Each structure stands twice: as C-alpha cells, then as structure tokens.
Amino acid sequence: MTDRSSNLIDAEDLRPIFKFVGKNWYLLLLLPVSAYVIAYTYTHRLADIYAAKTEILLKSSETYDYQNQIYSNIGMYSLLADVTNQKRILASYDLISRSLEKVDFDITYYLVGRLKTLQVDRIDALDVDFKLSNPALFNMPINMKVVNVDEYQISYEFLGQQIEATYPFGEIISAPDYSLVVNKSSSMVNDATIESIKRQDFQVKVHRHDYLVNKYKRTLEIEKVEYTSILTLTLRDELPTRAKRFLDTLSKVYIDYTLESQISVNENTERYIDKQLDELADIMDSLEGQMEGFKERHKILDLDKEQNEYFRSLVEFESEKRKMELRLESIRALEKFLYAEMNDASLPPSFYIFEEDQLLQEQVNQLFNLKVERTQNLINVTEENLKITKLDSLISTVRSSIGQYTRDTERAIISKISDVQTQVLKLEKKLQDIPKSQRDIVGIDRKIKVNESLYIFLLEKKANTVIARAAIIPQTTVIEAARSIGVVGPDKQRTMYIASGVGLFIALLIGFIRLVFFERIENTRELKKVANLPVLGGIPSYSDAE
C-alpha cells in the first residue's frame, strides 16, 4: 500500500486550483484579452516619437596659433573649456528661441483618419499661412476641408460653440480672431484629385513661440562623450525631419554665438584703440601748429650733443609714462566692470593691450562666465533659488580676488609712474640751462615725439586686431550632422503587456473575493473537510427535477 503522505503534491491538493480556474475561467480569459485590445486601440492612436542626434566638438584646434597670441595682448575672449557651461548655453531659452525663429514650426499639420490623427510635415494639397489674434485659440485643433476647386472650409469649437466659415483660395482673410490665407497646390487640377482631396479631413494647430521654446527645452538632451570635449545632442519629436532640422539649426546658431563673443571683444578693442588714436591725432595736430608758429617767431633750435642725449632720454621716459597712464586707465575701466550689477553679463573691457597678464585674464574669464551662467539660470528660477545663491557667493569670491589683484596692480603702476616722473624732472632740470626759447621748442618737440611713439604703438595694435578678426573661425565644429535614430517611444508593446497583466490581476482579485465571500460546499468531500463528522452519503440536487 502506497503512503500518500510521501507524495509532495497529490490530486487532492490540486482540486482547489482546478475548482478556482473552473469557476473563473471566463474572467481569467476575458479581462486580460479585453485589456490587451483596449491598450492596442489606445496605443494605435498614439503618435510615434522619433529622435535625432548630432555631435558638436568644443574648442576646435583649427585656430591659428598666432591668433591666440594676438588675443592674449588685445582682449579677453571666452574659453570653451568648461563643458558644463556650454551644455547650459546650448539648452538656454535664448539660444533655443533664436533657433526656432529661423525655422517654421509655428503651425502643426495633421491628417485626420477614422481611428488615428497623423501628424505630417505639411499638407501637400494646401499652403497655409495662419496667424492668430485670439490667444485662446493657440494649440487648439482647427479643422480644414476642401469644399471644391475654389473654396475651403475651416471649423473649430470655441466656448462651447461650433464655428464654421468657408473662404475662397488665395484670398487674405482678416477675421476678429485670426488672419488667414490658403493657397491650393498645383496637384488640384482635375476632378479626380479634387474628389480625393475632398474626402480627406485636415487639421492644424497654431502654437505660441514660448510654448515651442519650452517644448524643445524639455525634449532636448545633451550628454558629454566620456574623456572628450564632444557633446551629443538628442532631440525627440513627432516628426523625424523636424527633429533633424531643429538640431542642425541649433548647431549653427550655437556656432554663431561662439563667434559673437570673439568678434565683440575684437570690435570693443578696436573701438578703444580708435578712441585713443583720435585723441592723439588731435594733440599732435595742435602741437605741430604750435611748433610752426614758434619757428616763425624764433630761430630754429640747434642743440649740442649732450643736450640731444638728454632730450632723447626725456622722450623715452615720457613715452613710457604715457603708456603706463593708458594701462592705468584700462585697469580702472576693469574695476568699473568688476563692481557692476550682479546680473550685468556684458563683456569686460579690453585691458591686455600693453602686456600679457595671464593670471588676471583667467580670473576675469571666470567672473564673466559665472555672470553669464547666473543670467541664464534666472530665466528658470528666482534669485532666492539655492543655485543662484551659490553662484552669487562664488561671484563675490572671484570678484574680491580680482579686486585685490587690480588694487595691487594699480598701486604698482602709480608707483612706477612716480619713478618715471622723478627721472623726467631730473632731465628737465638738466635741460633748464639752455635758453628759454630753446627750452620751449624742446618741450613742444618732446611732446610731439612722445605722442608719435604712442600713436605708432597703437597703430600696430590696431593692425593686429584687424588681422585677428580676419582670422577668427568658430571654436566649435559639428562633427556629425543631425540624423534620425528612429522611433524611441512610446513603448507600445510594453503598454499592452502591462495592460494584460493588470487585466489578469483584476480577474484573480475578483476570483479571490468570490472564493472568500461567496464560496459554497458543493460535494460530500468538501463537507467532510469542514465538518470533521462522519458523512454517510449525499442527495444530489437537480434544478430540473420535479
């Protein structure tokens, strides 16, 4: 005789499962299948989301070496080494807004089907120019239908009221809520094509510019390729061609942005030099006039060799003094920039036209980039935001460091000017032995030569500036043009599987509730288990028994 207790599972253990499945089989089958069908219908109506990507190389090495050397002496330009800052700039509201201004994404077009409304690049049969004056109509579906070869109809629901209007093709329509002109395409030339187009329902949506900017900010993803200065830009959109077009436009706008900074600094430097040249030209014209008038009234000076040596030394010291005074003026202009408003992200003044100061240049670059980052962050957050507070603290620290450095530099320049002035006074004293008429003409000639020396110096720097501007090339390069990477969402299969699983779970839950609250004893075997009493037999019940 076989011991039943030795079996892991016997028939009696499986009877409750068979009974549960037998009583709820239709739920276990119907609910998952119904959920799958509902999910399939729902996902079928969803628009596919496509993605496109492009790659940008920061800090291109194609710039000529001599250009960097020139810039180190005549101005500050933003370095693109900080990849985090560049990611923030690429995703900024202003840059995306400028990109959208160059493309025509204000109107979205749809083909309306029985089950699905399909978004398309454009309506081939119609050329639509739609401008809304009523803000409530933005992003609202506006239906369009071709009535005949000469007319079309638009309709939309507004404040619970269905509004319809029929207009002729090619005519500019000015209504209270919109202005509209629709031209028919060359394909609408015969009755066959007209009948086909008349059966098709079209739909358009007109979008606000700020809506589009926020939409593309949300769907734009920027990632840094590890161990490189390459950024990968990925954009999700309902249309693959539109995603590629936007990324290509954004890349071009960004490259133009990187050029703007260099060109602006270059032009700022040239304006500064031109201002100094104009002032020097006026001074020299005045001095030359004085010289001519003096020569008419006195004999021309003929200095001896020793006096000529003093005179040349005096001119050299005066030229050095004048250059240091211009350097001091540039430092003081920098201090004004330094203590400007926190949100003032204007370019710093050009102050490297006399000698290279790498430490100061790096600190000012850092301050300028922090101010730019703060201004861009304020687009999305308030000044009380923790990120802005941290930036303010960092800006204050950098500004304090630069302020101390510039004050020390200013004191050093003033001290050097004082030393040179002492030498000038000594030489002037030695030249006092010559007659007064000769001293006067020496003084005029000295001033002319000092200003000529400075004028030549500034002309050289201006030439370098012009050469540098001609050699400016983008500091960023598109190394991979925008290309589509296919459908990235929604995951329709996953949605249908989840719906089926939810349907099965609901069926099991209903079956469990029936088992707990509505279960009945159906045979003597079950009665024996629950009663613990001997059962002699059972009487079957038949619903059709008389």
Tens of pLDDT, residue by residue over 210-234, are: 999 999 999 999 998 887 888 999 9
Rg (CA), the chain: 42
Total Cβ atoms within 10 A of residue 17: 9
150: burial class by Cβ within 10 Å (0-12, 13-18, 19+)?
exposed
Separation of alpha carbons 416 and 385, rounded Å: 46
> What single string gives the DSSP state of each residue in 394-445?
HHHHHHHHHHHHHHHHHHHHHHHHHHHHHHHHHHHHHGGGS-HHHHHHHHHH
Q: Is the peptide bond before 540 cis (omega within 30 degrees of 0)?
A: no
The string of DSSP letters for 105-126 reads -SEEEEEE-SS-EEEES--TTE
Check residue 12 and give its pLDDT: 60
User: The dihedral of CA 535, 537, 541, 542: what is its sign?
Assistant: positive
pLDDT value of position 260: 77
| Cα torsion angle, 69, 72, 75, 80, sign | positive
Note the pLDDT of residue 159. 85
Strand partners, 167: 152
Task: Give the per-residue pLDDT at 417.
Answer: 83
Residue with tokens 């009945």: 520
* Rounded (5°) CA angle 62-78-355: 95
Average pLDDT, the chain: 76
E strand or H helix that includes residue 229: none
Alpha-carbon gap, residue 459 to 454, rounded angstroms: 9
The model's pTM: 0.60
One-letter amino acid of 54: T
**Which stretches in the chain have pLDDT values below 70?**
1-15, 59-82, 187-191, 261, 287-312, 314-315, 337, 339-358, 361, 379-380, 427-446, 471, 473, 518-533, 535-546
Give me the pLDDT at residue 101, please.
Answer: 92
Please, are residues 248 and 482 in contact by the beta-carbon 8 Å criterion? yes
pLDDT for res 290: 65
| pLDDT (0 to 100) of residue 394 | 84
